[in-house]
Every structure is written in C-alpha cells, then in structure tokens.
Chains A and B, each alone.
Chain A
Amino acid sequence: MTPTLPVFLIVSSALFCLGLFAALSRRHAIFILIGIELMLSAANLNFVVFWRFHPTPVEPTGVMVAIFSIAIAAAEAAVGLALVIAVYRHYRTTNVDKLNQLKG
C-alpha cells in the first residue's frame, strides 16, 4: 500500500472543495444539494482513511462512523429533495436567487 495518509487527505479535501464550489456558485437548488452530498462524502472518506492509518485498526470505529454518516446523508438527501419539490410546487422555481421572500 504505497499511497500515504497526506495523499488521501489531499484527495478528500479536493473533493470537499469541489462540493463547496458547487454549493457557493450554483444557483439551482439541486446543484447545491449535489455539492452538499460531495462534501459529506469527502468527510466520510476521511473517517475511513484515518481508521485505516490508525496504528491498530482492529476496532471498526471509523467504519461505524462512515456507515452512520452514510445513513444520515441518505435521510438528509430525501428531506432536502422533498423540500426542493415542495418549494417548486409553491414558487414554480428552483432557483435559490428567486426565493427571497419571507411571505409564502
């Protein structure tokens, strides 16, 4: 296993920054959700990689956290996308710039 820990971390931070980029610059709600999913995945990768590079990776701690966070990300995606649909029904748009009213 040649790749070292910093290389893995660089990859996961690149993934995180791509997600951040999408969440910051795109204006479509679903793109923002895609960005959030990418950031969550990058964090997940970090958990598993840190577990792998632990001196004694016998206790499956990192794996546990990754499994829990995947499940939570799934719940988050379901609720987030349901919100997008509800907002679309109400305002007929999914562009977050146009959703600037407090009044429904």
Chain B
Amino acid sequence: MSSVAFVFIAILTLAAALAAVTLRRLIHAALMLALSFLGLAAFYFFVGAEFVGLVQIFVYVGAVAILIVFTILLTRRETETTKPLHWFAGGAIALLVFVALAWAISQSPALAVSASPRPSISVKQIGETLMTGYVWPLLCLGLLLTAALIGALVLVMEEKR
C-alpha cells in the first residue's frame, strides 16, 4: 500500500519537474514547478514530517510560484534561444551526474538501514525546539528575511530620474 503511494508520488514529482525544465512556454513551466512542489509536500507527508509538508505548500506553492509567475508577467517578451547543443550538453552533464550519484548510492553500505517506527512529531515539539535550541538561527533567519525583503524592494524600485 505505502509503496504504491510512494511510486505514485515519485512519478508525479519527477514528471512535473521534467516538464518544468523542458517545456517551451515559461508559464507552463512555472505551473508544472508548482505541481512538483506539491509532490514534494506529499513526500514530506509520506515520511511523517507533516509540518514541513505544510510549510512547503505554504511557501513554495503560495509564495514562490506566485513570485515566479508575476516576474514572468513583468518580463514578457520571451527570448528563449536554447540551441540543440545546449540541450545536449546540459542533458549529458546532468545524466552523468545522476549516474555517478546513483552508482554511489547503490554501492554505499552505510545506507542499508531499516526505517525506525514512524516518528510522531507534534507541531508543539517543533515550536519548542525552535524557541530553545534553534533560537539564534531563527533570529538570524528573521534578519535575513527582512534584509531580503528590503533588498528585493530596492532592486525593483523605479529609478528616480
């Protein structure tokens, strides 16, 4: 039962990602990217990290996908000049990397671990960990997000002439 679900989610995610990187029209690619993010969220649900899955949907589908779509609209005039050579070279390198990674994964003896019983990690537990052990990273993250917000605004602000 769970392996059926796994295969389904994996095929959905990978097919959507493949479509996102190969489609010609940018908007379709962005929508497919959102679909593959949803598939990833399903993965997180599948391994028992519900909170991460929800955050994934919230941040990626709700915010990043919208950002990408808005940027596409603001920068119309698609000038895609990917030549067959580009496709071939990029594809070959990516395939090579994949083969190397897959070989390494299949050879490694350290990965032959069986799963422990499904962990039940409550949102409260995550919140307490964030507020105790990870409070400095959290504060730094807040600073980083504020800086990114201001930076993005400054970048796209109309230049005064």
Contact = CB atoms under 8 A, between A and B. Distances in A.
Contacts of B71: 30, 81, 84-85
19 contacts: A1-B2, A2-B2, A7-B6, A9-B101, A16-B97, A18-B14, A25-B90, A26-B80, A34-B29, A38-B33, A54-B116, A55-B116, A66-B44, A67-B55, A82-B152, A83-B155, A84-B71, A85-B156, A88-B75
Contact of B144 (A15, A26, A75): A75
A8 B7 CA distance: 10
Interface in A29-87: 30-31, 33-35, 37-38, 41, 44-45, 48-49, 51-60, 62-64, 66-68, 70-79, 81-86
A91 to B, nearest CB: 11
A86 to B, nearest CB: 5
Interface of B: 2-3, 6, 10, 13-14, 17-18, 20-21, 26, 29-30, 33, 36-37, 40, 43-44, 47-49, 51-52, 55-56, 59-60, 63-64, 67-68, 70-72, 74-75, 77-82, 86-87, 89-91, 93-95, 97-98, 101-102, 105-106, 108, 111-116, 118-119, 121, 125-126, 129-130, 134, 137, 141, 144-145, 148-149, 151-153, 155-156
B68 A81 contact: yes
Contacts of B94: 17-18, 20-21, 24
A77 B102 contact: no
A1 to B, nearest CB: 5
B21 A13 contact: no
Interface of A: 1-11, 13-22, 24-28, 30-31, 33-35, 37-38, 41, 44-45, 48-49, 51-60, 62-64, 66-68, 70-79, 81-86, 88, 92-95, 97-98
